[in-house]
Amino acid sequence: MDHIIIVRGGGDLATGVIQKLFRVGLPVVILETTRPTAIRRSVALCEAVYNGHMQVEDVFCRKADRIDQLTECWKKDEVPLLIDPDGRCIQEIKPAAVIDAILAKRNIGTNRQMADITIGLGPGFTAGVDVDAVIETMRGHDLGRLILDGAAMPNTGIPGLIGGFSKQRVLHAPKAGILQCQKQIGDVCESGETIFRIGGEAVCAPFTGLLRGLLPDGMDIPAGMKTADIDPRTDVDWHTISDKARCLGGAVLEAYFYLRRQHNF
């Protein structure tokens, strides 16, 4: 248990990281909020917050209520999840590494005093200041690059280009209200079809594509919140971890063992 890894965040990209760590036999703990809002829910282990458990590919995650339940989960080859958005349990667990995979585009509390190795994904972190290494999350040539001095590329607010579409792929709530879903994750939506309604206003598919992400029906959401994600590639397997998540997972695994070697841990 001297290699315990804490991953802050259990969304779809964090799940790609968790799978890599899990597959090499490292005991992983996920820390999540009381109300995760990952939209690619079919491939996000944070869904265990709502359901008590969640499986993505070969990784089974179980919600734990106390730290003393972690070992039992590991013995069953499960990944435990604790609701602890502030990371208060980190001091008690004393992990070998803390990975911030919240992807909040800013640092919301991770620091180098939390563990011997600290790694941050995406913008908001500076290697050598608040974490030991930063992983580039911007799609393109540098995706997954280890940054040991400095920061990742700043957030552009524009999703990566896929199939000729970029910002059109992500749909936001036009107003605050209760989400009324007209489609489900995995549906192929025709251009102009209603995907969800909120406050009586319909939000439609901007092009024909596969619905890969959608917040749960009945959720009370604020105006402007990212609510759905549509992919122009209708043959994508929405049950499996994405190419980007796998890339980031491999980068985190590399960073962890590289930093252990550098510091002779």
Q: What is the DSSP string of 204-251?
A: E-SSSEEEEEEPPTT-EE-TT-EEEEEES-TT--TTS--HHHHHHHHH
Strands 79-83 and 59-63: parallel
What pLDDT score was predicted for residue 158? Answer: 74
Give residue-wise pLDDT tens across range 80-139.
999 999 999 999 999 999 999 999 999 999 999 999 999 999 999 999 999 999 999 999
Range 167-231: architecture per CATH: Beta Barrel (2.40)
pLDDT of residue 261: 93
**How far apart are alpha carbons 10 and 179 in whole angstroms?**
22
Q: What totals of helices (H) and strands (E) does the chain contain, helices first?
A: 5, 19
Asked whether 172 and 230 are in contact (CB, 8 A), the reply is no
Helix (H, G, I), strand (E, B) or coil at 75: helix
pLDDT at residue 1, rounded to an integer: 58
Residue 95's alpha-carbon distances to 87, 92, 116, in angstroms, are 12, 9, 8
Can you give the pLDDT at residue 37?
93
Q: How much is the pLDDT for 263? A: 87
CA distances from 92 to 88, 230, 250 (A): 8, 41, 28
pLDDT, tens digit only, all 265 positions of the chain:
578 999 999 999 999 999 999 999 999 999 999 999 999 999 999 999 999 999 999 999 999 999 999 999 999 999 999 999 999 999 999 999 999 999 999 999 999 999 999 999 999 999 999 999 999 999 999 999 999 999 999 988 777 777 777 889 999 999 999 999 999 999 999 999 999 999 889 999 999 999 999 999 999 999 999 999 999 999 999 999 999 999 999 999 999 999 999 988 8
In the three-class reduction of DSSP (H, G, I as helix; E, B as strand; rest coil), residue 177 is classed as: strand
Residues 6+ apart with CB under 8 A from 24: 253
Hey, what are 101's tokens? 């995979």
Q: Which of 176, 196, 175 is nearest to 185 (CA)?
A: 196
Q: Classify domain 5-155+243-263 at the CATH topology level.
A: Rossmann fold (3.40.50)
The confidence score (pLDDT) of residue 228 equals 97
Give domain limits for the chain. 5-155+243-263, 167-231
Distance CA 7, CA 49 (A): 15
What's the pTM value of the predicted model, to 2 decimals?
A: 0.94
- Give me the pLDDT at residue 108, please: 93
- The amino acid occupying position 48 is A
100: which DSSP letter? Answer: E
Q: Comparing C-alpha atoms, which of 265, 213, 255, 259 is closest to residue 101?
A: 255
Return the pLDDT at 142: 96
